[in-house]
Amino acid sequence: MTTSAETGTRHERWLWRAYDKSLAFLVNALIILLLAVGFWQVFARFVLSAPPTWSEELMIYASEWMVFLGAAVGLRMRAHISIDVLGLQPHGRPLAAARLLKQLAIAGFLLVLLWQGVRFALAGLDQTTGSLGGTMFTPFLAVPVGALLMLIELLRDCLQTRSTGTEGPRQ
């Protein structure tokens, strides 16, 4: 059974589309939040001469979440930078071996990022933010959540590549 948005049962396709749209919505909402808070910060500083104390910190944490959620979207769309080390286009078994090696290396990195990100986020329970007053757990949680979402996208990619035999940009 494959779980990509392009194949599978009608319910699986609907679920993956809903997941993709929700993730894209969150990233776009964070971009809008960054723009709105940034505009307010500039307006309050230069027009009202009363800069808010919380805006810069909120923008930093929103940027962090946007980057890690956006990285999962980028992995889904294969929008990340890739480097062709050999300059060759292998076919058949060498291509399959190269894909597997690439996916294993990415999975290994993401598992370490997930593990260390959880440890990092838990350490943030004892720290408070400078001006927002909460714990650092929520900002630090972006790292393991992003790593987990990227692992999900990598698994989807592996299953799709295995079922279709093709690899290319996706929407």
pLDDT of the chain, 171 residues: tens digit per residue:
344 455 678 888 899 899 999 999 999 999 999 999 999 999 999 999 998 989 999 999 999 999 999 999 998 887 776 656 555 566 667 777 777 888 899 999 999 999 999 999 999 999 988 888 889 999 999 999 999 999 999 998 888 766 666 665 555
Within 10 A of 110 (CB to CB), how many other CB atoms are there? 22
Residue 1: what pLDDT?
A: 39
Q: What's the rounded Cα separation, in Å, for the pair 31 and 19?
A: 19
> Domain boundaries in the chain?
10-81+89-164
CB 3 within 8 A of CB 159: yes
Residue 93: what pLDDT?
A: 73
CB 26 within 8 A of CB 69: yes
